[in-house]
Structure 1
Amino acid sequence: MRRTSALVTAAALALLAGCQGSGGGGAVAAPVIPEAPPVAVEVTPADGAIDVSPTVPVEISVTDGELTDVAVVDGAGAAVPGAVADSPEDPAVEVWTPETPLAYGTTYTLTATAEGVSAEPAQAATTFTTVTPQRQLTPAIGPLDGQTVGVGMPIRVYFDQPITDKAAVERNLTVTSSTPTDGVWNWFSDTEVHFRPSQYWPENTDVTLDADLYGVDFGNGVWGETDRTVSFRIGERHVSVADADTHQMEVYDGDQLVQTFPISAGSPDNPSYNGAHVVTEMNRDRVMDSSTYGVPVDSPGGYRTPVEYAVRISDSGEFVHAAPWSVAQQGRENVSHGCINLSTERARWFFEFSQPGDVVEIRGSDAGTLRSPINDWTIPWEEWRAGSALT
């Protein structure tokens, strides 16, 4: 809080007068003390403002004086606790911040009082009303808070309503990590945005997403409902390479090759997709059902088969799993419906080794590149960066 005073000038004039000689004994003229300027106070939002974001800065500016009091009440006259601090953007402005965020659809009155050299204090008041959203949204976020995931797991934010102002949302999604990265957001659709670095995450890294979306205008009457913070850990680096051409899968723990397994990948009629796949789900027992991707069980090519140690690597129906019926083909021929087949013992080892977020890179297939919902690492980096609303 600041005070601008004319007292220094007045004191200097008085001292100057006291130091003058009397000369010929004539009288010395009394110094002229200028009149102190009046205090001026300005506040924002403007009085009568409506549809104000509940997180908009409430700013106070004082000229030729010092702010001495700020009082805020809601429409019912109840006091709203808060504190005043210097604005980080403009040191000449002070900002009042409530202890808890202001509510949507509520009227508030702020009164600011300042004093200066002049005897009369000054006041300014503003009454404003926060916006009433047509709808409020809180996104779903993955990974979950406290989870440990592999180096390939992107941060995924999902909304159940299309987002019109993607830039406003993205500006309020802040990612920090114990090992800094060059990560960028990419919008997969109007309802889904992902974050990843240019390369796989550094292993053993702590990551936090602050989704400060309360009071953010998403567009078309939709506003953020709440703030969320999600913290998770990137665990050990597990990247496996499954080659459909050589029928082998190399499993790496960090930079060390720890296993080389014979495999059977997708058949020529049902080839596995090329590219980096991300482990998203692990089932000790699972029933593989062709109807989940549009092939009826009772049709030619349909099936409903129980399997063990199923590690899902895409939402296109691809798993690494035990397939004792294809052991004779593993290492020699591709006969699966797109999955990576292993013997039961090898599948059990891989299941116990794996964690969500691990990477399985499939190569050598006649199929195209993976295009399932988590195909983040198959998108070239410059294309990925272009998918940001802030590019």
Structure 2
Amino acid sequence: MRRAPRNRTVVGCTLLVIALGAGVTGCSSGGDRLSAEPYDAADRISFSGPSKGKKADPDLPLEVVAEDSDGRITDVTAVDAGGRHVGGELAADGSRWHSTSPLAADAAYTVRVSTEDEDGARGREVLTFTTGKPATKSSGAKSLGVTFGPGTGTYGVGQPLTAELSAPVHDPAQRAVVERGLKVSSTPAVDGAWHWVDDKSLHFRPKEYWPENATVRMRSNLEDIRIGDRLRGGKAEPLTLRTGDRVIAVVDVAAHQMTVHKSGEEIRTIAVTAGKPGFETRNGVKVVLAKERLVRMLSTSIGIAEGSSESYDMPVHFATRVTWSGEYVHAAPWSVGSQGYDNVSHGCVGMSTDDAEWFFDTFHQGDLVEVANSGGTTMEPFGNGFGDWNLTWAQWRAGSALAGDTGAAPAPEEQARLRPRPA
């Protein structure tokens, strides 16, 4: 760590006035303190960093204390050579600042301290130091890897982001460290948050759907950061993706109708059929997961025995998947007579082949299907696709480790990647 000499270089106002001549008021009470050059605050503060020539233990917090009883600290910033900022907290009276987030090992840091004396004059000190290996590093420590998803490319405005961890993180405090290190930025900017799906998975979504044609970037600042006694952050590849147009299908099950909107404009109305009693289509918001031009659908995949009056085994065209358990929007030429009038499917949304082909060509991964007025349950948030938007913003924020609670989220249902079910 480098520290400025502790020799004061304060020059009295009287001496300055004599040397510069009458009328100079730079040190008088009527002077402009804000335009004056900041004084050297080296002897006004103490710093907990290492002594000269030594390296800091990254597991120990930083602390800056105001040594002058008539002065105070007004601001402290600490950042490493890679641009990662260290979180900190400044006492209300300006007497002390301490770090609240961990340091990285083998990293160079710069700490900038701003102060103010009893007359309002501003001071400044810049401190530099490097960290070494943690002094209390446990044997067998693991490195926590992070894999961001869904991947590079262009997605619909409903696409949640994902972060998969290489090891489980249970402790709320450790979850907070991890979450602070997972950075998401977008252009245009949005208000968003991470939500812990389970001990190894996080999802990120904005408060509202993503803006159209946005650029979204994800990166991890966790490399070499201490997360727990036996866990430190590892390397992670950043990810950049884009959003496309705002494409949303609204399905009114009771009216047997789908209305498709693009960029806020209604572009098509389609007669549909949805789940009949006992096989009701799920209500709520669903995100397009994938598209299959031809898929074989089997009733046995949803527990219907062969030979039953409800059994089926058939090829289905232009199938747009919205749940992993087999709910699709697809062509259903066998039910054209019911489309627009009755619900006769086993849970999917069916339509004519021409409409299904148009839907298939128009919708892409991350686009949205909103279902209302069905007798079915609401789409589950996790475990069967992306039902993230079916949580209110308050519920979503409650799943963040930085939202003032434990950071724990309800365990998701086990993901069931069943074979598809037909309409």
Same fold, TM-score > 0.5, yes or no: yes
Deviations 1:209-241 (A, max 9, x none): 122222244447333321331111111000110
Query: Which residue of the partner structure matches residue 376 of structure 1?
Result: 388
Partner of 1:310: 319
Q: Secondary structure at the match of 2:249?
A: strand
RMSD: 3.7
Q: In terms of mean alpha carbon deviation, does 374-383 or 288-297 score higher?
A: 288-297
Indicate which of 127, 132, 135 corresponds to 1:94: 127
Q: Please tell me whether residue 180 in structure 1 is matched to residue 189 in structure 2.
A: yes
CA contact (8 A) 1:58 1:96 kept: no
Partner in structure 1 of residue 162 of structure 2: 156
How many angstroms apart in 1 are the aligned matches of 2:274 and 2:246? 23
Q: Which residue of 2 aligns with 1:67?
A: none
| CA shift digits 1:232-269 (9 cap, x unpaired) | 11110001101111111011111111110111111111
Q: Distance in 2 between matches of 1:7 and 1:340?
A: 79
1:350 and 2:356 aligned:
no
SS of the aligned residue for 2:286 comes to: strand
| C-alpha deviation, 1:154, in angstroms | 1.1
Query: 1:85, 1:160 → 2: CA distance?
Result: 28
- In structure 1, the partner of 2:277 is 268
- In structure 2, relative to structure 1, the CA distance for the partners of 1:316 and 1:216 (3 Å cut) is farther
* Mapped contact 2:148–2:238 kept (Cα < 8 A): no
Cα distance between partner residues in 2 of 1:7 and 1:370 = 69
Provide the C-alpha distance between the structure 2 equivalents of 1:194 and 1:387, rounded to a whole number of angstroms. 10
Q: Give yes or no for the alignment of 1:144 onto 2:177.
A: no
Give the match for residue 400 of structure 2: 388
Q: CA 1:129/1:167 → structure 2, altered by over 3 Å: closer, same or farther?
A: closer
Q: Is 1:250 the equivalent of 2:259?
A: yes
Give the conservation status (yes or no) of the 8 Å contact 1:278–1:360: yes
- The 5-angstrom pairing of residues 17-166 of structure 1 reads 43-44=49-50, 86-88=110-112, 92=125, 94-96=127-129, 128=135, 132-145=139-152, 147-164=153-170, 165-166=174-175
Between the aligned residues of both structures, percent identity stands at 36
Measured after TM superposition, the shift of residue 3 of structure 1 is 4.1
Code of the aligned partner of 1:151: V
> One-letter code of the match for 2:390?
T
Evaluate the alpha carbon distance shift between residue 340 and residue 42 of structure 1 in structure 2; reply closer, same or farther with a 3 A threshold: closer
* One-letter amino acid of the structure 1 residue matched with residue 402 of structure 2: L
Contact 2:147 2:236 in 1 (8 A): no
1:150 shift after superposition: 0.6
Q: Distance in 1 between matches of 2:51 and 2:273?
A: 66
**Residue pair 2:246, 2:263 contacting (<8 A) in 1 also:** yes
State the TM-score, normalized to the length of structure 2: 0.65
Count of residues in correspondence between the two structures? 316
Given that 1:158 and 1:191 are in contact with CA atoms closer than 8 Å, whether structure 2 keeps it comes out as yes
The corresponding residue for 1:215 is: 224
The one-letter amino acid paired with 1:287 is: R
Once the two structures are superposed, residues 94-144 of structure 1 have per-residue CA deviations (whole angstroms, 9 ceiling, x without a partner) of 33459xxx7xxxx69xxxxxxxxxxxxxxxxxxx57555543332332221
Once residues 89 and 358 of structure 1 are traced to their aligned partners in structure 2, the CA distance between those partners, rounded to angstroms, is 48
Tell me if structure 1 keeps the 8 A contact 2:50–2:129: no
One-letter amino acid of the structure 1 residue matched with residue 111 of structure 2: S
Alignment partner, residue 345 of structure 2: 336
Aligned to 1:245, the other structure's residue is in SS state coil
Q: C-alpha separation between the residues in 2 aligned to 1:139 and 1:41?
A: 34
Q: Secondary structure at the match of 2:190?
A: coil
Residues 87 and 319 (structure 1), Cα distance of their counterparts in 2 relative to 1, 3 Å cut: same
2:238 alignment partner, SS class: strand
CA pair 259-390 structure 1, distance change in 2 beyond 3 A: same
Post-superposition offset of 1:289:
3.4
Larger-gyration structure (1/2): 1
The residue that corresponds to 1:120 in the other structure is: none
Question: Per-residue displacement from partner, 1:18-66 (whole Å, max 9, x unpaired)?
Answer: xxxxxxxxxxxxxxxxxxx9xx99853998998x56xx8999xxxxxxx
In the TM superposition, residue 275 of structure 1 has moved relative to its aligned partner by 0.8
SS at match of 2:360: helix
Selected match of 1:195 from 201, 204, 211:
204
Paired with 1:277 and 1:338, the residues of 2 have a C-alpha distance of: 14
